[in-house]
Amino acid sequence: MIEERSVTGAVPLETETLTPDVTGFARAADILGQGGLVAFPTETVYGLGADARNDMAVARIFEAKGRPRFNPLIVHVPDVEAAKRYVAWDDTADRIASAFWPGPLTLVLPLRPGAGLSPLVTADLPTLAIRIPAHPVARALLNAFDGPVAAPSANPSGRISPTEAAHVLAGLSNRIEAVVDGGTCDVGVESTILGLADTPRLLRPGGLPQEALEAALGTPLALYQVGDALTAPGQMTSHYAPGAPVRLNAIKVETTERLLGFGKVDGAALNLSPSGDLTEAAANLFHHLHKLDQEGDSPIAVSPVPERGLGRAINDRLRRAAAPRGT
Ligand code: AMP
Ligand code: MG
């Protein structure tokens, strides 16, 4: 059982070390199914996994890592059949996947609408980064869980990526439910990321060489340029803006405004977390912004959200939503 305490992170967890066998995989799958966090080895580095369909579980990844921003996460699946459930597939994706999956390659493809993933996974982008890892422990875990697993590297934000279970514990002990100890990762660098949502583009160099991709594609790859729209949600100031104007740190609400509340406030149209829980607020953020956007275009006032823990990532996103609109 995952107890209540693990969800708020208020009381330290005792992180379980699981063995890479049937018992360990079953336990890991059980924890993931209950919204818990499980670190596991891939051939690149140890990933910090959560059920990619569960908003609270994905919010907890950002909380455990102390990430100041909701940058998009890579979703791990066991096979191409599973990948096709979440992304629009085409001939190029098929060719590249047959050549390099399973392996240290992530593909960015159009997200299938209604695929059921948490919007926190994609940072609300219309594309999804997806990968089939080759590591036998990662594969066994994905098969045991039988669902999409969002997993960034299993280290606190700003620290070096872990290639051993001991590194994971050194950084995240008492912040995650479990780590599957599968020894040392071979590749030791992150996956190569190939954007296939439009012109093929190398979005991040990594474990699979660019030359191998170019040989398979039969053409040189365009490289990611700073300022390109696709990868850089964080660089586009008002990317997340709803149609209506957004006003932050609202204490008093005008009669023309709709309040997106946080904590105990009266008259909120929607509340990110009535109890003032930042993890719950993160889990609700994109859902509530979309709902308010769909329901009308009168101005949105947002209650103050404390600038600590996940509050920093929430405020980062809200500031973008409130930024003056470009064209
Ligand atoms: P990490 O999981 O921490 O190794 O990093 C994930 C990387 O994937 C980040 O550099 C993201 O910017 C990138 N990424 C994830 N999703 C997308 C996406 N939809 N489009 C472009 N890049 C993505
Ligand atoms: Mg990382």
Residue 106: pLDDT band with limits 50, 70, 90: very high
Q: Closest ligand 1 atom, CA of 129?
A: 16
Q: Residue 324's pLDDT is what?
A: 78
pLDDT value for 171:
96
CA distance 276 to 142: 34
- Counting ligands in written order, which one lies closest to the CA of residue 71? 1
Q: What angle do CA 74, 11, 159 make, to 5 degrees?
A: 40
The length of the chain is 327
State yes or no: pLDDT of 327 exceeds 70.
no
Residue 240 has pLDDT above 90, yes or no: no
Contact yes or no for 83/89 (Cβ under 8 A) = yes
Q: What is the CATH number that goes with domain 246-322? A: 3.40.50.11030
Q: Which residues pair with 46 in a beta bridge?
A: 41
| CATH 3.90.870.10 residue ranges for the chain | 16-223
pLDDT grade for 76, boundaries at 50, 70 and 90: very high
- Percent of the chain whose pLDDT exceeds 90: 82
pLDDT confidence of 227, banded at 50, 70, 90?
Answer: low
**Residue nearest (by alpha carbon) to ligand 1 atom 1:** 152
Q: Whose CA is nearest to atom 22 of ligand 1?
A: 231
Instruction: Please report which ligand is nearest the Cα atom of 155.
Output: 2
Q: Which residues on neighbouring strands pair with residue 88, listed in sequence order? A: none
Residue 11, pLDDT score: 64
Q: Rounded to 10 degrees, what is the CA torsion of 319, 320, 326, 327?
A: -150
Q: What is the pLDDT of residue 234?
A: 37
Percentage of residues in the chain having pLDDT higher than 70: 91
Cβ < 5 A residues, ion ligand 2:
153
What is the whole-number distance in angstroms between the Cα of residue 72 and the centre of ligand 1?
5
Query: Please, which pLDDT band fits residue 225 given cuts at 50, 70 and 90?
Result: low
Cβ-based neighbours of 76, under 8 Å, separated by 6 or more: 42, 47, 49, 130, 131, 132, 133, 138, 142, 148, 149, 150, 151
Residue 202 CA, chain-centre distance (Å), reads 20
Among 46, 71, 120, 122, say which to mutate for ligand 1: greatest number of ligand atoms within 8 Å of CB: 71
pLDDT of 131 higher than 70: yes
Give the residue-averaged pLDDT of 124-148.
97
Query: Cα(78) to centroid of ligand 2, in Å?
Result: 21
Hey, whose CA ends up nearest to atom 17 of ligand 1? Answer: 129
User: Whose Cα sits closest to atom 20 in ligand 1?
Assistant: 231
The structure's pTM equals 0.90
**223: CA distance to ligand 1 center in Å?**
15
**pLDDT 10s digits, 270-305:** 999 999 999 999 999 999 999 999 999 999 999 999
**What's the pLDDT tens digit per position in 5-34?**
444 455 678 999 999 999 999 999 999 999
pLDDT in tens, 164-179: 999 999 999 999 999 9
User: 16-223 has which fold?
Assistant: DHBP synthase (3.90.870)
Question: What does the buried/exposed string (b/e) look like for 227-247 if buried means 16 or more CB atoms within 10 Å of the residue's CB?
Answer: eeebbebeeeeebbbbebbbb
- pLDDT grade for 1, boundaries at 50, 70 and 90: very low
Specify the higher pLDDT residue, 139 or 207.
Answer: 139
Give the residue whose CA is nearest to atom 13 of ligand 1. 72
- What is residue 234's DSSP assignment? G
Query: Does the pLDDT of residue 325 top 80, yes or no?
Result: no
What was the pLDDT predicted at 20? Answer: 98
Q: How confident is the model at residue 243 (pLDDT cuts 50, 70, 90)?
A: confident
Short-list 192, 150, 185, CA closest to 167: 185
Out of 40, 58, 74, 198, give the residue to mutate to test ligand 1, the one with the largest number of ligand atoms within 8 Å of its CB: 74
- Cβ–ligand 1 contact at 149 (below 6 Å): no
CATH 3.40.50.11030: which residues of the chain? 246-322
Mean pLDDT, range 26-55, rounded to an integer:
97
